[in-house]
Amino acid sequence: MCVAGSAAAVGVRVAAVGSGPVRAAAAGERRGTAEVVVTGDPLVTHRGARQTVIVRARAEVFGPSGDMGRVRVRVPVLLVAYDERWRTLVPSTRVRVTGKFVPPRGGELLAAVIVVRGPPVAIGEPSRVQRAAEHVRARLRAAVAHLPGDQRAVLPGLVVGDTSGLDRSLTEAFRTAGLTHLLVVSGANLAIVIGAVLGVCGFLGARRRTATLVAVGAVLVFVVVVRPEPSVLRATVMGLIGLLALLSGRQRQGVPALCAAVVVLVLLDPALARSYGFALSVLATAGLLVLAPPWRERLRRRLPAPLADAVAVAAAAQLAVAPLLVTLSGELGVLAIVANLLAAPAVAPATILGAIAAVTALVALPVAQVIAWPAGLAVGWIAGVARTTAALPYATLPWPAGLPGAAAALAACVAAVLILRHRALLVLASATLAGVAVAVLLLRAVSPGWPPPGWLLVACDVGQGDALVLATGVAGQAVVVDTGPDPHPVDGCLRRLNVRTVPLLVLTHPHADHTGGVRGVRSGRSVHTVLTTPRSGARDGRDTGGLIRHGSHPGQTWRIGALTLTVLAPRIDGPPLTVATDGTTINDASIVLLARHPRFSALLTGDLEDDAQRALTPHVPPVDVLKVPHHGSKTQHAPFLAATRAPLALVSAGRDNDYGHPAPTTLTLLRSLHMRVHRTDQQGDLAIVPARPGLVVVTRR
């Protein structure tokens, strides 16, 4: 009956979202005005030169544009805004929005996506609870402001789920290392808080009932501070079930409780039925309930109890979520269990001290800053584990995505369990793995290190963006073309290449994924001159203060050491590029460089799209290496690519990017032109190295 009632309720909610005036406006892609209530923290992303703010909200009043009629509705919507002021909104704020209503993609339970121009128009204040929560979060950010970058970014996320300070490289490192769960509020956070409160109550001699009431109050305050959103409530319920069942030893009661919680939560919020985060939380909790207890008992026969518990919990949770993770990412994290074991000792101290700092900051900020210092050290260890693990070779292995990958991962998990149960199979598997490990180590020992000797050009793995480094033949010196979206990845790439001097920095066009990392290039290095597209105006001037600036023009030549750079485009001047200029026009204003060196030649194309490629095709010479335009997007002119006659094609793109780069049609086209395609999203940094005969590509990953 309960399941049938849940299904009926879900059906009603789905029908309400899939019909009505808001969905009708989205289906016709019409403009309209709505009064919405913000339901989640704004999420900031970067798309090209624009900063995009994604806001989840609930529409309560709707009226088509130009129509005086208003109707009452209650449906979830997603706001896509470009004004930075949207990122300051606090959940429960009522806002009036006017924009274009478009249908949601991917089957998400939304009535519409509203593309909004201009700043938010608030028509109501946040609730007192949300104002109080935001005040606590702001004071915590102030308390950690003096800490080093990684510590300052991670501590608020670990304590209250505030990830606003994280950069892309650190987020990616946590993902690769399998530590992303530490950056979101989970049942583990709640268990730490409850344990600390009960410990203090016990130390003070409080009775069990009193201690329980205090712990319940602490839970309520905790949920308020980290936002009482459905995701937080779900994580709290799941974590409590799993951890309390483990602590009490009542695993049999835990599984029915988990099933009941799933039914109730989906009934309250049907969108969870399509949430990967919800599915991962359920699977991890199930792993803790079903797999961890027997594994813990077996491990305790050979290991100290604390270590046995840690290994059992980490392994059970990771094994339970592995089939779904490979479905999403197409990768298998092989070092996640090790990373979690290394990070685990620092989680509780960082969480407890961070929570104390957050409370103390409300009344004494200087004292809170002192308390935050040791918490920062613990968080620094966790961030260091994430970055170190992510940088190791084979931290993740390619794996089939989708259902085939999930089936293969599930089969591997079953095989692992069977192997652990039979001594003969365990010995055979251990010997096989030892042989593979020795072979890998020998391969790494005889293969060139990084950077490979004699490298000529390196495409840095900076995520969804471009950053190219060209050797000049002078030790410690290189030309840099574009900088990627963030300072840290390009800085790391240049440090690995031992680049200390940059005589020329080329910013092909003013999009953030090409210019956002300028500070990283300048970090600890001497940068002399910046070359920009002649139409950029002041758009790419951020972080280039004090440097000599030159505008490019066709035929312009730069000779630096053994390297010669010739500007081929943009060939036609036009009005200055502004914030209102569309993305295609900005892409087509990219500087196109012909790089020549005694050992190779390369065509560096920025984000040039098909129309500009068509105009430039008669002027394209044959080269050895092609930097594929616009991250391998589908907007390619086949004769332009063919004119390069390049045997090697480099694609710079971010893993799991939102744009689908590189496009399958472009990859097919490049291969049909007999080009060997190499991609930063799959292979990491790509180095062009001379060989006999020709050139080879050495990858860092």
pLDDT of residue 468: 97
Q: Are 686 and 697 in contact (CB under 8 A)?
A: yes
pLDDT of residue 437: 59
pLDDT of residue 465: 93
Angle at 463 between CA 112 and CA 569, to 5 degrees: 95
Q: Are 650 and 626 in contact (CB under 8 A)?
A: yes
Q: Are 124 and 100 in contact (CB under 8 A)?
A: no
pLDDT of residue 591: 94
Neighbouring residues of 496: CB distance < 8 A, sequence distance ≥ 6: 450, 451, 685, 700
DSSP 11-36: HHHHHHHTSSHHHHHHHTT-EEEEEE
Q: Where are the alpha helices (DSSP H) in 18-116?
A: 21-27
Q: Are 615 and 636 in contact (CB under 8 A)?
A: no
In tens, the pLDDT along 343-396 reads: 878 888 888 888 889 889 999 999 999 999 999 999 999 999 888 887 776 666
Q: Are 565 and 594 in contact (CB under 8 A)?
A: yes
Structure token digits, residue 64: 């088509």
Structure token digits, residue 430: 């251990």
Q: How many CB atoms lie within 10 A of CB 115?
A: 17
- Hey, which bits of 318-472 come out as E strands? 331-333, 396-398, 457-459, 468-471
Q: How far is CA 172 from CA 178, 485, 523, in A?
A: 10, 13, 21
Q: Is 637 left (phi over 0), alpha (psi -120 to 50) or beta?
A: beta
pLDDT of residue 107: 60
Q: How far is CA 620 from CA 394, 466, 568, 604, in A?
A: 39, 21, 8, 11
pLDDT of residue 606: 93
Q: Give pTM, 2 decimals.
A: 0.61
Q: Which of the residues in the chain have pLDDT under 50? A: 1-2, 5, 48-49, 246
In tens, the pLDDT along 401-429 reads: 566 766 776 777 777 767 767 777 767 76
Of residues 459, 490, 470, the one with CA closest to residue 559 = 470
Angle at 109 between CA 106 and CA 110, to 5 degrees: 95
